[in-house]
Structure 1
Amino acid sequence: MQITFLGTSSGVPTRSRNVSSVALKLPQRSELWLFDCGEGTQHQFLRSELKISQLTRIFITHMHGDHIFGLMGLLASCGLAGNVQSIDIYGPPGLNEYLQAALRYSHTHFSYPVKVHTITSGLIYEDQEFYIYCGVLYHRITAFGYRVIEKDRPGRFDVAKAQRWHIPPGKIYSQLKHGETVTLEDGRVINGADLCGDAEIGRKIAYCTDTVYCDRAVQLAEDADVLIHEATFAHQDAEMAFRRLHSTSTMAAQTALAANAHRLIITHFSPRYNPGNPIEFKDLLKEARAIFPKTDMAYDFMSYEVPRRRDSIIV
């Protein structure tokens, strides 16, 4: 599971940071999921190594422009040049109406199926490998955070051991790989767990923006391998953060700490902290690390390989 940050600024883009968008590349399948789609996201795709043709699902947190203004352009481009098969979009009430109005007034027609799912708190998607949950955060308008859970996988099947035990190959191997107990023709009872290594624990990712510190963000981030959390403001600007219902760097760190997350990546930074200002981005990172040492600061096109509880790789 590889996370790529396509936009890490809040409110407006800057020369070095576009507005919010995060891509998740799924393991062992040519599929991309996108979280938020600020203006210019399709241009960020072109500047990255991601393939727009692999995009299948888009998850929108809320209806503020820096999270949705790129959506219509991206969807139109997918139809014209992206070779996309279909896209499912998940988001708050009003999202479908917004897209329908844009389609009507721009006289745009999608050449592939697009389905919009209006979400409420709880499980919103499941397939053979993943669950996706959402929950309402605490912002000026309805805003959702997301939690992606990779399902546990059975341990590696020891084929050589099965052969030594003279277990005939075929359907039985498949059953044993899934940990089932099988009775052979000769009467032996074989427990699949005896032929499999330790199960691979599924990874967990939480994405929380925009929000002030709240219990729901902690719940979404519980035991997450990585929490992606907004850190719009520095700690000394906490009063402004509370007024605007955004998080400071320290609030993001407190969320990660309370949730027992394994790593925190902060994003969605106010341009007021650009280099040369009294407080800079590096100061926000220092503040967060004082509370939660395993914190990294996102930048546009940063990639993060979500580990299976091993050392992380950031490029």
Structure 2
Amino acid sequence: MTARHILRIQDLSAKEMCSLLDLAEAMKRGDDTSAHLAGRCIGLLFNVPSTRTRVSFQVAASQLGADSYPYGVEELRLANRESIEDTIGVLNRYLDALVVRWYDMNDYGAGHRRLRAMAEQATIPVINALDDEEHPCQVLADLMTLRELYGGEVPARRVVYAWSYSPRQKTPGVLHSSMMAAALLGHRVTVAHPPGFAPEERVTRAARDAAARTGASIELTHDLEDAVRGCAAVYTLSWKSPTLAGQEEIQARTRLADRWRITEPLMRLAGDEAVFLDCMPTNRGEEVDADVKDGPRSRIFQQAENRLHTQKALLTQLFDGTLTGGGR
């Protein structure tokens, strides 16, 4: 049987996402505590550090009865130029699934290509735990959080993904996967970004094509204040420019520091009921002010907790036949 890989959020259909979220909610309530993965071995291969993703996958595996084995690239012979083909050929014989985080913001796109190369060689499921283009696992947790907040009204509630200043170049993976998930599920999103920091054109085009079929709304704007008016949630994100590079991007990013940050006055424009979302890590005073991140609107730790439940559901359904083979 062909292994099912989850490299992009659109590797799941809308129906599959909803089924997975139903199971995640049942697991969070304690209605499903079965050891669905008893005797399984889950590998975690990360080329960059991780807090939420690594720990949540390890705990998810443990709670499902599996063992998890984390590796840094420097711990494997990949560090000495062993090929992907040979590495994955070996891991196929030891593991039941492989969770991979791989990116290098100095070589944009290479991380996603590396994951695809791994998946092509793998006879076990490969799960994208963040590369330089996609982050499906984070977005599943975000969708669960929105369902908990708004129930069946989620499609009618507009979420703003707001570019925010950070001195570091960050992957646009969460943004790209969020846009595609919204498009597939018929949700309303606005992406607010300064000039030069638009999402990749191919992603915007694909999301709008899908939105035309589902009734979703995918809007882009340079006006942050106008974007947040009347929205249900403001989600802070920072991502690298697809068109600027090197010192040009650093200088552009620095010039935007004071104007592109989530503040309490900005949240007041959104309305009394609007919540603040953040996949973290973020630094107070850079992407967001402390009174927002630590304030009553913040749902950031609810999002982080839901990483555990959605990843338990994802692992379970990859092995129980719900997501095996097939595709969309």
* Shorter-chain TM band: 0.3 to 0.5
Which protein has the bigger strand share?
Answer: 1
Rg larger for:
1
TM-score, normalization: structure 2? 0.31
TM normalised by structure 1 equals 0.32
Give the structure, 1 or 2, with the largest relative contact order (CA under 8 Å, sep 6 or more): 2
